[in-house]
Amino acid sequence: MDPFRLCMISGSFEYESEASLTLYQDYIAKHRPKIETTLIVYQSEDDHQSLEPIENTDVLLVFTRRVNTAGAELDRFMKYCQDGRPIVGVRTASHAFQNWLAFDKEVQGGNYEGHYGGGPVAHITKESGAVAHPILSQVEPFDSQGSLYINTPIAEDTTLLLTGHTDEHEEPVAWTRMHNGGRVFYTSLGHQEDFKDNDFLKLLTNAVRWAARRL
């Protein structure tokens, strides 16, 4: 596999995204050393981080929650998306930037409407029509401790990969779509415990490689 660059943006404090993405950097270094990672860390919703590193990345992973980025840096992020460059969204990326909540529907093809209460374990299963998708390669069904996000219905031009089930609810939890010619993957998974699950880590890594057209 040719080397490529992955830039990750952390700013989801409820889910301790900095700790989770640091664990993920360690996983990448061990299992996919040809992926060069950069981590941008927001320290609060009002932190004004430079997003300049996204201009020179091959894939952008977003794991922020309602950060108040505005002005030139928000414009930089929006241009990245409008240029059709590869994106991987994790959990709260459905409401990543408070000043551009439309990112969810316009780019990721999502339909975030909150979440069900925490507590029940969600059983994550592959969609029957997607079992051969490269993102699901060597990924087995697993359980997630995170509450299910309400996303039904997702955009018609998405390809659903994974569904989450509890005794009472069922929701899409991972899908792909194309945006302005670029590959986009989103998953509503990303609870702290998910980053300790090998199947979730394989899923995320496959998604990064797919978005970069290296898979």
- Split at pLDDT 50, 70, 90, the class of 98 is very high
- Split at pLDDT 50, 70, 90, the class of 117 is confident
Cis peptide leading into residue 172 (ω within 30°): no
Say yes or no to pLDDT of 87 above 90. Answer: yes
- The percent of residues above 70 in pLDDT, for the chain, comes to 100
pLDDT, mean of residues 19-42: 97
Q: Given this model, what pLDDT does residue 119 score?
A: 77
The per-residue pLDDT of the chain, averaged, comes to 97
What does pTM read for this prediction? 0.97
pLDDT, mean of residues 27-32: 97
Check if CATH label 3.40.50.300 holds for domain 4-113+175-211. no
Name which of 120, 112, 119, 77 is nearest 97 in CA terms: 77
The neighbouring-strand residues paired with 40 are: 9
Q: Given this model, what pLDDT does residue 25 score?
A: 98
- Split at pLDDT 50, 70, 90, the class of 118 is confident
**CA angle, residues 23, 109, 61, in degrees to nearest 5:** 25
Q: Tell me how far apart the alpha carbons of residues 108 and 9 are, in angstroms, rounded to a whole number.
A: 16
pLDDT, mean of residues 100-121: 94
Q: Given this model, what pLDDT does residue 204 score?
A: 98
- What is the per-residue DSSP string for 3-66? -EEEEEEEE-TTTTHHHHHHHHHHHHHHH-TTEEEEEEE-SSTT-----GGGGG-SEEEEEE-S
Q: Given this model, what pLDDT does residue 99 score?
A: 98
Q: Structural domain boundaries of the chain? A: 4-113+175-211
Q: Given this model, what pLDDT does residue 26 score?
A: 97
